[in-house]
């Protein structure tokens, strides 16, 4: 898998093993020269001075494997990368879509070869057997119950055991899986650990081994194959609409609507482009889904590089929610629906977190009293302003600023007539402000129950000579300095009209 | 259109009706270009002096530019824009605020307010603060805030929002940069199409050509101190005052006023306590120029 067609030959990749540089992979030409993985680099260079040797890059290998696994999603959504060099695909129930297991395997191998990889593939009823067959045998398809015959002649390393266990088994003369198949289990487990028997059972299909998929499997999926790859944006959008029409039927059967959708575009050269879009209410309407992707594609612009075209498009509903059947009518609902569409469009183009609603929180600390949450998620939620209004009337809160700095800005050169009194002048952003009118202080206690609560704050509304109105606060008190508390600091927190 | 009009002119009795009809046709033709925002109702500020200059008030389905006289005065310009928004989009909330404490149990209805702002402007001038908006007569339930990294996205989002019928007011906040006249024309057309009030909130004044119906420059003015309180520094803040300069108006004259926010009735009033005469020309040269 690490061998590329265009690379110079003979080629070997080496990695560090302790203090030693060992070859970890060799290409076909190097193999013909008698080099193998595990040979010391110095020895290999001495044998063949023309050898091109490159250091290994495990992170890049892992990324490549992930990208390939992504591409393999075209065969089944249930798959997992099996580092360092394998991919596990659960093709139960989807082989017939490709004309049977044989055809699926041929197709996979042909495409992998086309990308320039040397790949081996095997199909078996258990993960262990398939992995052993792909790496250590020529068997293409192993029918259920034939695992014994398949595994018997293979070396014990095929069971995915640790190298220590394999070495320990080799010391007592157990080299092949066949050697341990019929041995009494208790002594084996006692001497070599339960792991050995578990891996054996898993390979033989006696114990079920679950496959953890890389990505959660979407509840609704529709896909379309193209004999002639598509590249134009209009074609992609038309495909989205066609797939959405198919999804609509499936969603309607279960009374669901899509809250989050993902469009996966499989490029002919193996790159997979994924585009996600969210909605603020469950939708089924293909037109609405198409409109979302219009904005997403516009926002992505050149990032969606079609290259030589996409040969498979898959639209999946990653989050579905119950959706009441379409209703026609009353004015208010129409308006709400129109607003939802606007929010969806804006969120699709600008990003979900950029379109928000203000939610009131039950906190007396000004920066915690309100939060901006994604409007799509909050479309039907209670925002809590009623409670805030009740609180404001009860507590007789002083007016709050219109604009608020998320991070209070320190102000300097604060001059006050009495240490804990209101400021007379202060400097903010290098400009000096002369205070002519003040209201306050309003004492707001810090979160005294928490370690990071901070000191109490005294808030002042001030107006300067030019009529600018600010919300300032002093964190801490001067008189507390006697108790060796830090010096109070002044901040500007907001502006009034 | 030409022939029937000419025949009607022959009879003097029909002339006023024909003139009226022609005026209406002209208005319709101009409205289609987005130049005269006559479509939609007029939104009065509640101050007869200003409403007179605006011949009734600001066009509702139109674009208006509101600029802060200086970047530090952005909050004042925001306050002016929000006061307009409160008059336009949120009638029930306004009446609720008028009755004071009973605001608590009011049902909030009306069209939505979209506040679209550039990231940089929010970082520099502060983000809209829910509790403060609530106090200024804007129900935070009806507010949707949108942030955008680029001014291009702000303009795009504004156009989308202006066309939406569920939205009553769109505030688009941008830091200094010239806006293409074609873009303001598009916004004006979108505002007319959606019958939405579009407010372009800018942090510094600009004088480039624009399709906006009016252009305002808003600054702060010292408030008149509240009565009572002996020491000069101990008196509280009076009602906030703004200087509002109308520097561009497609429907009439220009003007400059000092207005005061009446928090009880939730509306602007002309400031009744005028500044000392000698001070006017010195620290407010624009007033001298306009007068």
- Tell me the pLDDT tens digit for each residue of B213-243: 999 999 998 887 765 444 444 457 888 889 9
* Chain length of chain A: 497
Q: Mark whether A224 and A316 lie in a shared domain.
A: yes
Measure CA B150 to chain center.
Answer: 23
Mean per-residue pLDDT of chain B: 78
Confidence check: pLDDT of B67 > 90 = yes
Is the dihedral angle over the CA atoms A416, A422, A424, A430 positive or is it negative?
positive
Higher pLDDT, A26 or B275: A26
- CATH number where A279 lies: 3.30.1490.100
Residues 402-441 of chain A with CB under 8 A from chain B are 402-406, 417, 422, 424, 431, 435-439
Helix H or strand E segment including A386: helix A385-395
- Please tell me which residue, B6 or A245, carries the higher pLDDT value: A245
The B residues from 256 to 285 touching A (CB cutoff 8 Å) are 261, 263
Closest CA to A320 of A262, A264, A246, A257: A257
Interface of B with A in 206-225 (CB under 8 A): 219-223, 225
Look up tokens 């808003």; give the residue: B218
pLDDT at B13: 60
Q: Residue A370 and residue B234: Cβ atoms within 8 Å?
A: no
Of B99, B178, B187, the C-alpha closest to B137 is B99
Using CA atoms of A292, A295, A297, A300 in order, give the dihedral in degrees to the nearest 10.
-130
CB A340 within 8 A of CB A379: yes
* Among B159, B242, B166, B248, residue whose Cα is nearest residue B198: B159
- Nearest Cα to B62, choosing from B101, B16, B30? B30
pLDDT at res. B129: 93
Flag whether pLDDT at B201 surpasses 90: yes
What is the pLDDT averaged over residues B56-79? 90
Radius of gyration of chain A, Cα coordinates, nearest whole angstrom: 33
Using the structure block, give the residue that is written with the tokens 């080299």. A175
User: How confident is the model at residue B113, as a pLDDT?
Assistant: 92
- Could you tell me how many helices (H) and strands (E) chain A has, helices first? 14, 18
Q: How confident is the model at residue B96 (pLDDT cuts 50, 70, 90)?
A: very low
The 3-class SS string of B209-256 reads CCCCCEEEEEEEECCCCCCCCCCHHHCCCCCCEEEEEEEEECCCCCEE
Write out chain B residues lying below 8 Å of A467, CB-based: 76, 219-223, 240-241
Would you state the pLDDT for residue B189? 92
Q: Do B144 and A360 touch (CB under 8 A)?
A: no
Alpha helices, H only, A301-370 = 331-350
Residue B8 has pLDDT above 50, yes or no: no
Residue A421 CA to chain centroid, in angstroms?
52
CB pair distance less than 8 Å for B164 and A389: no
3-state secondary structure of A450: coil
Instruction: Give the residue ranges of DSSP H helices in A223-350.
Output: 233-254, 286-300, 331-350
Identify the weakest region by mean pLDDT among A3-17, A74-88, A443-457, B137-151: A3-17
The per-residue DSSP string of A67-111 comes to: HHHHHGGGT-S-EEEETTTEEEE--TTTGGGGTSHHHHHHHHHHH
Of A350, A393, A405, the CB nearest to B126: A405
CA B255 to each of CA A339, B216, B243, B249: distance values in angstroms, whole numbers, following the listed order: 37, 10, 11, 9
Helices (H), A205-330: 233-254, 286-300
User: Given this model, what pLDDT does residue B12 score?
Assistant: 57
Average pLDDT over residues B147-163: 92
Total domains, chain A: 6
- Full DSSP string of A13-30: EEEEETTEEEEEEE-HHH
- In terms of domains, do A190 and A117 share one? no
β-bridge pairing B267-270 and B58-59: unpaired
Backbone angles phi, psi at A107, to 5 degrees: -60, -45
Please tell me the total number of residues recorded for chain B in this structure: 291
B35-218 CATH: 3.40.50.300
Pairing of strands A412-416, A423-428: antiparallel
**DSSP helix/strand/coil, B81:** helix
Nearest-Å Rg of the Cα atoms of chain B is 21
Q: What is the mean pLDDT of residues B191-213?
A: 90
pLDDT value of position B21: 87
Strand runs labelled E in B33-158:
42-43, 58-59, 63-68, 112-118, 127-128, 143-148
Burial tier of A140 (Cβ tally within 10 Å: 0-12, 13-18, 19+): middle
Distances (CA, A) of B131 to A36, A153, A364: 72, 76, 11
What is the C-alpha separation between B145 and B151, in angstroms, rounded? 15
Query: Looking at chain A from residue 250 to 309, which residues have their Cβ under 8 Å from any Cβ of chain B?
Result: none
**Residue A305 pLDDT class (50, 70, 90 cuts):** confident
**Rounded Cα gap, residues A183 and B280, in angstroms:** 106
pLDDT at residue B7, rounded to an integer: 46
CA–CA distances in Å: residue A417 to residues A184, A421, A486: 92, 7, 21
| Strand, helix or coil for residue B67 | strand
Q: Which domain holds residue A446?
A: 403-495
pLDDT at position A263 is 93
Beta-carbon contacts of residue B224 (< 8 Å; ≥ 6 apart): B238, B239, B241, B260, B271, B273
Does residue A348 fall inside a structural domain? no
Is there a cis peptide before residue A84, judged by omega within 30 degrees of 0? yes
DSSP string spanning A130-186?
HHHHHHH---SB--TT-HHHHHTTSBGGGG---HHHHHHHHHTT--BHHHHHTS-HH
Query: A219: closest CA among A282, A266, A272?
Result: A282
B250: CB partners within 8 A, 6+ apart: B35, B36, B37, B213, B214
Strand partners, B116: B146, B172
Which residue of chain A comes nearest to B153, CA vs CA? A350
The H or E element containing residue B271 is none
pLDDT tens digits for range A59-97: 998 999 988 998 888 888 888 988 888 999 998 888 888
Chain A residues with CB-CB distance to B129 below 8 A: 370, 400-404, 494
Mean per-residue pLDDT, A15-37: 85
What are the Cα distances from residue A381, in Å, to A281, A331, A360, A378?
Answer: 12, 21, 12, 5
Burial class (CB in 10 A: 0-12, 13-18, 19+), A460: buried
Report yes or no: A135 at the B interface, CB cutoff 8 Å.
Answer: no
Do A318 and A244 belong together in one domain? yes
Same domain flag for A489 and A409: yes
Q: Which whole-number Å values give the CA distances from B126 to A61, A470, A494, A497, B84, in the listed order?
A: 46, 12, 7, 12, 20
Minimum distance, in Å, between the CA of residue A302 and any CA atom of chain B: 17
Q: Are strands A79-82 and A86-89 parallel, antiparallel or unpaired?
A: antiparallel
Q: What confidence score (pLDDT) does residue B2 get?
A: 43
Say if residue A240 is in the same domain as residue A211.
no
pLDDT at residue B104, as a whole number: 37
A369 pLDDT more than 70: yes
Q: What is the mean pLDDT of residues B39-65?
A: 82
Domain boundary among A190, A217, A244: A217
Residue from the list A345, A349, A437 with its beta carbon closest to the beta carbon of B225:
A437
Cis peptide before A441 (omega within 30 of 0): yes
Residues A102 and A137 in one domain: no
Lowest-pLDDT choice from A207-216, A321-330, A397-406:
A321-330
Sheet (strand A52-55) strand order? A20-26, A11-17, A52-55
Least confident range of A30-34, A312-316, B164-168, B231-235? B231-235
* Eight-class DSSP state of A254: H
In this predicted structure, the answer to whether residue A313 has a pLDDT above a threshold of 60 is yes
* Chain B residues within an 8 Å CB radius of A339: 112, 164, 166-167
Band of residue A327 on the pLDDT scale cut at 50, 70, 90: low
Q: Is the peptide bond before A119 cis (omega within 30 degrees of 0)?
A: no
- A400·B75 Cβ contact <8 A: no
Q: Quick one: average pLDDT of A401-406?
A: 92
pLDDT bracket for residue A245 (50, 70, 90)? very high
pLDDT tens per residue, range A154-210: 998 888 888 888 898 999 888 888 888 888 889 888 988 888 899 999 988 888 888
Whether B135 and A390 lie within 8 Å, measured CB to CB: no
**pLDDT band at B289; cut points 50, 70, 90:** very low
Kindly provide the residue ranges of all beta strands, DSSP E only, lying in A375-429, ordered along the sequence. Answer: 403-410, 412-416, 423-428
A490 part of a folded domain: yes
My answer on whether A226 and A314 are in the same domain is: yes
Residue B187 has pLDDT above 90, yes or no: yes
Q: Return d(Cα B109, Cα B96) in angstroms, integer.
A: 11
**Which residues in chain B are contacts of A346 at CB distance < 8 A?**
146, 157, 160-161
Residue A187 CB burial class (10 angstroms; 0-12, 13-18, ≥19): exposed
Tens of pLDDT, residue by residue over B83-93, are 888 887 544 34
CB atoms within 10 A of CB B173: 28
Higher-pLDDT residue of B34, A411: A411
Q: Which two tokens stand for residue B110?
A: 């009306």
Phi, psi dihedral angles at A280 (to 5 degrees): -95, -10
Nearest CA to CA, how far is A212 from chain B (Å)? Answer: 38
Q: How many CB pairs under 8 A join A and B?
A: 191
Domain boundary among A164, A187, A217: A217
- Report yes or no on A388 lying in a domain: yes
Q: What are phi and psi of A145, to 5 degrees?
A: 75, 0
């Amino acid at each position: 898998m690490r061998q590329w067609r265009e690379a110079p030959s003979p080629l070997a990749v080496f990695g560090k093993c302790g203090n030693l540089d060992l070859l970890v992979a060799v290409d076909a030409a190097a193999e013909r020269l008698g080099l193998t993985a595990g040979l010391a680099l110095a020895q290999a260079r001495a044998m063949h001075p023309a050898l091109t040797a490159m250091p290994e890059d495990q992170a890049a290998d892992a990324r490549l494997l992930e990208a390939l696994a992504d591409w393999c999603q075209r065969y089944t959504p249930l798959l997992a990368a099996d580092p360092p060099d394998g991919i596990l695909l659960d093709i139960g129930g989807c082989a017939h879509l490709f004309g049977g297991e044989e055809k699926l395997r041929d197709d996979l191998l042909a495409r992998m070869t086309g990308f320039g990889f040397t790949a081996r593939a095997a199909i078996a009823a258990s993960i262990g057997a398939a992995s052993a067959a792909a790496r250590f045998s020529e068997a293409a398809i192993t029918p259920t119950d034939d695992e014994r015959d398949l595994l018997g002649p293979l070396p014990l390393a095929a069971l995915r055991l640790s190298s220590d266990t394999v070495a320990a088994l080799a010391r007592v003369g157990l080299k092949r899986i066949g050697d341990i198949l019929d041995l009494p289990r208790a002594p084996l487990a006692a001497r070599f650990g339960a792991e050995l028997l578990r891996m054996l059972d898993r390979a033989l299909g006696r114990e079920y081994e679950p496959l953890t998929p890389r990505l959660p499997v979407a509840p609704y999926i529709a896909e379309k194959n193209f004999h002639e790859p598509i590249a134009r944006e209009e074609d992609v959008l038309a495909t989205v609409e066609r797939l959405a029409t198919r999804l609509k039927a499936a969603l309607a059967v279960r009374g669901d609507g899509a809250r989050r959708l993902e469009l996966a575009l499989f490029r002919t050269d193996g790159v997979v482009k994924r585009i996600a879009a969210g909605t603020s209410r469950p939708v089924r309407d293909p037109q609405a889904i198409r409109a979302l992707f219009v904005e997403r594609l516009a926002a992505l612009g050149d990032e969606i590089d079609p290259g030589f075209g996409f040969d498979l498009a898959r639209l999946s509903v990653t989050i579905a929610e119950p959706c009441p059947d379409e209703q026609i009518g009353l004015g208010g609902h129409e308006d709400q629906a129109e607003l939802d569409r606007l929010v969806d469009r804006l969120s699709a183009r600008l990003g979900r977190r950029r379109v928000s609603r203000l939610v009131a929180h039950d906190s007396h600390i000004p920066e915690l009293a309100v939060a901006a949450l994604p409007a799509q998620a909050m479309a039907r939620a209670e925002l809590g302003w009623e409670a805030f209004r009740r609180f404001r009337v009860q507590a007789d809160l002083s007016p709050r600023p219109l604009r608020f700095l998320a991070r209070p800005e320190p102000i300097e050169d604060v001059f006050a007539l009495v240490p804990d009194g209101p400021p007379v002048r202060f400097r903010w952003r290098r400009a000096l402000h002369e205070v002519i009118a003040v209201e306050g202080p309003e004492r707001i206690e810090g979160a005294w129950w928490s370690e990071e609560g901070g000191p109490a704050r005294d808030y002042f509304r001030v107006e300067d000579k030019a009529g600018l109105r600010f919300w300032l606060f002093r964190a801490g008190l001067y008189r507390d300095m006697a108790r060796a508390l830090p010096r109070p600091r002044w901040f500007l927190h907001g502006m009034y009209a | 259109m030409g022939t029937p009009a000419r025949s009607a002119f022959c009879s003097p009795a029909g002339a006023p009706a024909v003139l009226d009809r022609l005026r209406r046709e002209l208005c319709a033709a101009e409205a289609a270009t987005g130049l005269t925002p006559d479509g939609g109702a007029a939104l009065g500020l509640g101050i007869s002096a200003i409403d007179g200059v605006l011949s009734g008030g600001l066009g509702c389905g139109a674009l208006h530019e509101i600029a802060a006289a200086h970047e530090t005065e952005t909050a004042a310009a925001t306050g002016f824009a929000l006061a307009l928004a409160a008059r336009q989009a949120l009638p029930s909330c306004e009446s609720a605020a008028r009755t004071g404490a009973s605001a608590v149990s009011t049902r909030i209805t009306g069209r939505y307010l979209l506040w679209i702002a550039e990231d940089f402007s929010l970082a520099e001038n502060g983000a809209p603060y829910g509790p403060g908006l609530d106090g200024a007569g804007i129900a935070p339930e009806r507010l949707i805030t949108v942030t955008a990294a680029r001014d291009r996205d702000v303009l795009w989002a504004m156009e989308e929002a202006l066309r939406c019928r569920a939205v009553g007011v769109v505030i688009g906040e941008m830091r200094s940069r010239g806006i293409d006249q074609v873009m303001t024309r598009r916004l004006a057309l979108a505002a007319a199409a959606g019958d939405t009030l579009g407010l372009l909130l800018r942090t510094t004044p600009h004088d480039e050509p624009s399709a906006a119906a009016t252009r305002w420059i808003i600054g702060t003015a010292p408030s008149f101190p509240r009565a009572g309180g002996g020491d000069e520094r101990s008196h509280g803040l009076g009602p906030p005052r703004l200087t509002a300069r109308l520097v561009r108006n497609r429907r009439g004259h220009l003007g400059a006023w000092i207005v005061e926010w009446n928090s009880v009735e939730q509306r602007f009033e002309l400031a009744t306590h005028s500044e000392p005469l000698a001070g006017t020309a010195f620290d407010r040269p624009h007033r001298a120029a306009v007068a």
